[in-house]
Amino acid sequence: MTRRREGATSELTLIERARRTQLIEVTIELVADRGYAGASLAAIAERAGITKAAVLYHFPTKAAVVRAAHEHALAALVADVAAAVEAAAPANRPAAYVRSMVGHLREHPRHTRMIIEAMVHDDGEHDPAARWGPLAQLIDAARLARGASGDIDPRTTAIIVGGGIDAIVAEQLHDPDYDTATAAEHLVDMLETTISR
Amino acid sequence: MTRRREGATSELTLIERARRTQLIEVTIELVADRGYAGASLAAIAERAGITKAAVLYHFPTKAAVVRAAHEHALAALVADVAAAVEAAAPANRPAAYVRSMVGHLREHPRHTRMIIEAMVHDDGEHDPAARWGPLAQLIDAARLARGASGDIDPRTTAIIVGGGIDAIVAEQLHDPDYDTATAAEHLVDMLETTISR
DNA sequence: CACACTCCTAACCGATCGGTAGATTTTTCG
DNA sequence: CGAAAAATCTACCGATCGGTTAGGAGTGTG
């Protein structure tokens, strides 16, 4: 059956932990380098220096490996952004969101490609609101804190800004010299102008 | 050899033209429905009602079919946007670009997914500047026409707005009821504010 | 020593991939 | 009508896909 035993994650062997971590890392690398299609079971195994069967000893299916890799990259991003946002005053949180998002993705380009690939290829149910929802809430709260009264739609603003973040990050993927920090400030300016009305 | 004869496109048989058109259409549909990975030669052939060999009689490789489908979708988009842009006064062209882009993609959702898939999966050389370059030029020209003097970076503005367009269109793909026209106006507002400084 | 458990390899499985070869049907045209 | 050309089908190819099976090396542990 080649089954993994059940039980808490903390009960995993040292080797088990190390392998899982390694497999997640090489999968992220592979997806970043050659896209989803290039991340075959054989390719993952080869880059990890083991056989396909060994990979499937630590994960039930290939999909589980990719899912774990995606969740790993996403969790790091969310943790980073959440920390930055919570450290800021409500009125400044949308800006903090943009800056930390761009910053994190700049520092982790591989994670970035992994996340992008997963977003495009999420054949299956995945709530798109999960992407812009949090930002929309931050915008709402910031407008409340500032007493802004214009009739903007937080959802649309969040969608647009989210797209802008993606585009800035994608540009840096093609041109490593692109100044994403300045671009982020540019985007923050546009956002601030919009939500302060 | 199963080779196609050389010669101008206009010298193609009626059947040849019809098949090529049909194959391009079903490929766009297939990519839109099931992504790049789902657009296999067998799937394309089946949906067209012929065999794999027949598909490869009209196109040299599967990659050529996909490429043709992509170029078809892209050409329609470019033609549409170019017409709308040229019909506007220089000062209004960035706004015309945004509106026509969102409008075209709303009216051709299948083309949209085809183009998005191709962008993400363009394993190979593809100049990213081709995407935001034209908009950056329109922004530059509009600022000149208006006598704006702020120190904005047209490239970054174009990248951000381009990302916003993508995000609006992507949102509509998930939620067909999303009001992209209003969202486009929202984006136009942000853009106008930025470039008028 | 013997048994159990963890971790792994070699070999194989059926399915599907893109593509090819050759026979065969359909269309075109003198 | 009859032959050439165009269009298509059947059948196959090697490669690769994700996944399975059986077994064995290494490490304790009774």
Residue A139: predicted pLDDT: 97
**pLDDT number for residue A31:** 95
CB B157 within 8 A of CB B173: no
Alpha-carbon gap, residue B93 to A43, rounded angstroms: 48
* Interface residues, strand C, Cβ cutoff 7 Å: A 2, 5, 13-16, 19, 49-54, 57-58; B 1-2, 14-15, 39-43, 52-53, 56, 61-63
Hey, where are the domains in chain A? 9-65, 70-195
Averaged pLDDT, A159-169: 97
Model pLDDT, residue B171: 94
Cα(B131)–Cα(B78) distance, integer angstroms: 11
pLDDT at B120: 82
Domain A9-65 is of which CATH architecture? Orthogonal Bundle (1.10)
Whole-angstrom CA distances from A93 to A20, A97, A99, A139, B96 are 35, 6, 10, 8, 32
**Average pLDDT over chain A, rounded to an integer:** 91
Q: What is the pTM of this model?
A: 0.90
Q: Which residue in A115, A159, A180, A192 has the most chain B C-beta atoms within 10 A of its own C-beta, making it the best mutation to test that interface?
A: A159
Q: Round to whole Å and give the CA distance between A30 and B32.
A: 25
Residue B3 has pLDDT above 50, yes or no: no
| Amino acid at the residue A172 | Q
Please determine, for residue B151, whether its predicted confidence score (pLDDT) is greater than 90: no
Interface test with A, best of B135, B171, B173, B187 (most A CBs within 10 A): B171
Average pLDDT over residues A67-75: 97
**Residues A16-45: what's their mean pLDDT?**
95
Mean pLDDT of chain B: 91
Q: What is the mean pLDDT of residues A172-185?
A: 95
B84-94 average pLDDT score: 97
* CA proximity to A101, closest of A115, A122, A90: A115
- Ramachandran angles phi, psi of A184, nearest 5°: -60, -40
Which residue did the predictor score with more confidence, B72 or A150? Answer: B72
**pLDDT of A99-149, one tens digit each?**
999 999 999 999 999 998 898 887 666 777 889 999 999 999 999 999 988
- CB neighbourhood size of B33 (10 A): 14
CB B196 within 8 A of CB A193: no
- Cβ contacts of A170 within 8 Å, gap of 6 or more: A116, B128, B163
Question: Reduced to 3 states, what is the DSSP secondary structure of residue B179?
Answer: coil
CA distance, residue A161 to nearest chain B CA (Å) = 6
CA–CA gap between residue B195 and residue B94 (Å, rounded): 9
pLDDT of residue A11: 58
Q: How far apart are CA B102 and CA A107, in angstroms?
A: 32
Average pLDDT estimate for B150-168: 95
Give residue B125's region: left, alpha or beta (phi > 0; psi -120 to 50).
beta
Instruction: Give the pLDDT of residue A6.
Output: 44
With contact defined as beta carbons under 8 Å apart, do A23 and A43 qualify? no
Which residues from chain A sit within 8 angstroms of residue B122, using beta carbons?
Answer: none
Q: How far, rounded to the nearest angstrom, does the alpha carbon of residue A61 sit from its chain's CA centroid?
A: 22
Nearest nt to the CA of B12 via C1' is D6
- How far A137 CA lies from chain B's nearest CA (Å)? 17
pLDDT at B11 (0 to 100): 53
Query: Is residue A117 a contact partner of residue A36, using CB atoms and an 8 Å limit?
Result: yes
pLDDT class for B12, splitting at 50, 70, 90? low
Nearest-10 crossing angle of helices B180-196, A154-174: 70
CB A157 within 8 A of CB B186: yes
The amino acid that residue B79 corresponds to is A
At B121, the amino acid letter reads H
The least confident of A176-180, B16-20, B47-51 is: B16-20
Residue B59 (CA) to nucleotide C30 (C1'), in angstroms, measures 30
User: Any chain B CB within 8 A of the CB of A168?
Assistant: yes
Q: How far apart are CA B186 and CA B170, in angstroms?
A: 16
* pLDDT tens digits for range B70-81: 999 999 999 999
Please report which confidence band the pLDDT of residue A150 belongs to, taking 50, 70 and 90 as the band edges. Answer: confident
Q: How many residues does chain B have?
A: 197
Taking each helix axis from N to C terminus, what angle separates B93-107 and B129-146, rounded to the nearest 10 degrees?
A: 140
CA distances (Å), A135 to each of A95, A116, A117, A125, A130, in order? 10, 18, 21, 21, 9
Nucleotides of D under 7 A from a protein CB: 6-11, 16-22
Encode pLDDT of B108-126 as tens digits: 999 999 999 898 887 666 7
User: What pLDDT does residue B4 have?
Assistant: 41
At A128 the pLDDT is: 76
What would the mean pLDDT of A64-78 be, rounded to a whole number? 97
pLDDT digits (tens, 9 = 90+) for B29-38: 999 999 999 9
Of B157, B182, B156, B158, residue with least CA distance to B171: B182
CB contact under 8 A, A170 and B34: no
Q: Measure the CA–CA gap between B104 and A174, rounded to whole angstroms.
A: 26
Contact A160/B186, CB-based, under 8 Å?
yes
Please name the amino acid found at residue A5: R
pLDDT of residue A2: 35
